Structure 1
Amino acid sequence: MAAGRTVQPPSAPADPPRRSEAPALGRRLTSLTVACLVLGALVATSASATPSARGPSGPDGPAGVTTGIAVFDRTTGRYTEQLNAETQFRSASVVKLLLALDVLWDLGPDHQVPAADRTRLEAMLRGSDDGVASYYWTQRGGSRIIERTATRLGLTGTAPPPAAYPGHWGYTALTASDTVRIYRYLLDQAPAAVREVVMGNLRRSTRCANDGYDQRFGIPSASVGPWAVKQGWSGFTSGGPTADAGTPAATSAAAPASRRTRGATEAAPPRHPTTAASTATVDLARPALHSTGTVGADDRAIVAVLTLHPVGTPYGSAYTHLTHLVASLDVPGAQRPSGTWLGTLGSGVRVRADATTDSAVITTLPAGVEVLVDCQKRGRPISDGPRSSDWWAHLPQYGGYMTNVYVDTSGERIPGVPVC
């Protein structure tokens, strides 16, 4: 739905106000009943007309955030953005690109992918399935995978996990520059069949990862498309969601236990790492959130943004910061979404297919995340404590609506946002 489009708003329904769109403000949702859920401590956010990550503190943003950035324009053959591009970060799930390439390297001259591997690679690349990554890590030699692929691709800042954590694939060291090199190989040198398997799945990256986390931060939220992404996250506590049968988290081979920190399959670091781990150059303690991939027609721009956040940072806060950071970069070929960025209130707020509680739930929002709103319309009235409204905000990046009750703004309507 385009911003500014005006239609006749429906009459307010006669049903009494509902209070089911989120738990009471500030409380946590205790179960996963929809396709995607991310939990974190409630944080205050303020409305802003446009995202900004290059304030007085520079691209790194809030104090304590470390960022590595590389944006490469394939048309000109030049970098448009570089910041700490050679700094090593733990890869989290971005290493799954190397796992996939290692598998595909062994294909015969016809490059036919066995059906079992095609299914596994689809789950690992689209839904970031940890179970598949662990399977390949075990079957194909663990750290030797990283040594092989780094040599083949000429990666200069990529290294296996520290010696104290040999089985933890997510602790592989990776730089923003090397991430760009991986995508350049895929797009410019890899056999067409290999390119299609990897990039074709990245173009179909799911909103919900197989562990229940929303993975549409960064590139997908900052660009209308086309895009292809491999995201990474590690060290964020989920708070113990459970899933209904049939949801990605319930059916994943790496489904979370009653409590889960992303990175557990990678083996989450102890609170006080061992001496061997402490001497490594890669930070294993701070939560990591990475957005990598391509943007624009014909994959014009390659984008790699790697971030580390202070321990205890809510997922929604890191999600918002990374999205704003990507939106602030010079990314050739990117189409920026229109609308107004606004903070949200509560946790577990539902995004629905229409402005009524009778419509399907698309996802639930990370606590404290900001959302892009392009228009608003009247629908079913919702009340929660002193707040009530029959207006619903349209979120183009989610393709649905959330009640204005949980938009961080005063009044029932959002000032300056047009009617849908």
Structure 2
Amino acid sequence: MIKTRIPTLAVAALLVATALPATAAPDTPSPQSLVPSDVTVAFAVYDRALGRTTLSHDPHRRIRSASVVKLLIALDYLEARGPDFEIPPEDLGRLVPMLRSSDDDAASELWVLDGWEKIVERMVAKLGLTDTEPPVDVGFWGYTALSAADVVTIYRYVLDEAHPKYRAFIMDNLHQATTCATDGFDQSFGLPSAIPGEVAFKQGWSRFGDTPPRPCVEPPADRTPLPAAKDGPPPPPTPEADLDLTSPAMHTTGTYDPADRKIMAVLTLEPVGTTWDTSAHRLTTVTKAVYLADRMLTG
């Protein structure tokens, strides 16, 4: 796994920012203060050993999921078929690259196969998600709304309540997540670059174009056009719309520490025109700050 090296000055700034809990020093910079005011950031860290959320900022802010919804697509597939079901090769060929390499075509195929927005509706009801809603335009699964708090709930369900067979399938694949996504983007930002040791992760990004800033893998072969996709042209804004469908989104979610003790979700929205490299570096910096702040609080 590629480990992005945070510049020395940035590390120093992060250590200063997380040296004391905010309650002990109100003027100490917080992780969210490390980003410009026009960047939206929401995060949550849950400690399974302590049984509580240990650090959060704006955890119930609703942000479009991008590829993070693939966690729900995979979980719903497994839950709907039962633990005795043997996944056929054609579906393994979708689920594995979707979880490990964020394969969008695989997600689109499973989205259509299992009922489009009904996937999200079933998972909201089963897991008790409070901020998650299916996309208004059901053809674009990446427009699903969720929050950092709900992402934590999804991981908690997988790790502590789901059938062991489902848990093993999802977490084993996330622990083997690849540096390169199927579409050629480098998905090693955030958790895999900011947190030492082994991590399991599922990333998300949207509106950075279709061409990565530099090659990461050979472009995948063309597949049959699908009736569903991650995202598309955003609808005209309406007064009642509360979900940003236009700003570039980049998210990092997953687990770390032995036995997946810690769950972290960091969700961001960037100003229109932000480059991939700028967003990836910024998200990794914030993720490192969240990690260090939580370490100071809980060890």
TM band (smaller chain): 0.7 to 0.9
For 1:294, which of 252, 255, 261 is the aligned residue?
Answer: 255
Determine the C-alpha separation between the residues in 1 that align with 2:13 and 2:218: 33
Is contact 2:201–2:253 with CA below 8 Å preserved after alignment?
yes
Matches within 5 A, 1:4-403: 48=9, 50=11, 52=13, 59-60=32-33, 61-162=35-136, 165-239=137-211, 247-251=217-221, 253=223, 265-270=229-234, 273-276=235-238, 279-329=240-290, 330-331=293-294
SS of corresponding position for 2:265 = strand
Deviation at 1:221, TM superposition (A): 0.4
Is contact 1:233–1:287 with CA below 8 Å preserved after alignment?
yes
Change over 3 Å in CA distance of 1:274–1:109 after alignment to 2? same
Change over 3 Å in CA distance of 1:242–1:51 after alignment to 2? closer
Deviation at 1:254, TM superposition (A): 9.1
Change over 3 Å in CA distance of 1:275–1:233 after alignment to 2? closer
Change over 3 Å in CA distance of 1:221–1:110 after alignment to 2? same
Determine the C-alpha separation between the residues in 2 that align with 1:147 and 1:68: 23
Deviation at 1:47, TM superposition (A): 6.1
SS of corresponding position for 1:121 = helix
Bigger proportion of residues as helix: 2
Determine the C-alpha separation between the residues in 1 that align with 2:173 and 2:54: 26
AA matched with 1:274:
P
How does the TM-score come out when normalised to structure 1? 0.61
Determine the C-alpha separation between the residues in 2 that align with 1:323 and 1:292: 12
SS of corresponding position for 1:194 = helix
AA matched with 1:183:
Y
SS of corresponding position for 1:199 = helix
Bigger proportion of residues as strand: 1
SS of corresponding position for 1:198 = helix
AA matched with 1:286:
S
Change over 3 Å in CA distance of 1:46–1:324 after alignment to 2? closer
Determine the C-alpha separation between the residues in 1 that align with 2:12 and 2:270: 19
Q: Tell me how large the CA RMSD over aligned residues is.
A: 2.8
How does the TM-score come out when normalised to structure 2? 0.84
Deviations 1:228-251 (A, max 9, x none): 00000001125577979xx45334
SS of corresponding position for 1:72 = strand
AA matched with 2:121:
E
Deviation at 1:107, TM superposition (A): 2.5
Q: Number of residues paired by the alignment? A: 275
Deviation at 1:265, TM superposition (A): 3.2
Deviation at 1:226, TM superposition (A): 1.6
Change over 3 Å in CA distance of 1:129–1:177 after alignment to 2? same
SS of corresponding position for 2:252 = strand
Change over 3 Å in CA distance of 1:96–1:158 after alignment to 2? same
Is contact 2:73–2:119 with CA below 8 Å preserved after alignment?
yes
Deviations 1:74-122 (A, max 9, x none): 1111212110100000000000000001110123342432222222110
Is contact 1:129–1:254 with CA below 8 Å preserved after alignment?
no
For structure 1, the residue ranges without an aligned partner over 5 or more in a row are 1-35, 37-44, 256-263, 334-420
Is contact 1:127–1:205 with CA below 8 Å preserved after alignment?
yes
Deviation at 1:182, TM superposition (A): 0.3
Determine the C-alpha separation between the residues in 2 that align with 1:230 and 1:105: 19
SS of corresponding position for 2:254 = strand
SS of corresponding position for 1:313 = coil
For structure 2, the residue ranges without an aligned partner over 5 or more in a row are 18-27
Change over 3 Å in CA distance of 1:51–1:96 after alignment to 2? farther
Change over 3 Å in CA distance of 1:239–1:193 after alignment to 2? closer
Deviation at 1:195, TM superposition (A): 0.7
Determine the C-alpha separation between the residues in 2 that align with 1:248 and 1:148: 36
Moved over 6 A (4+): 240-244
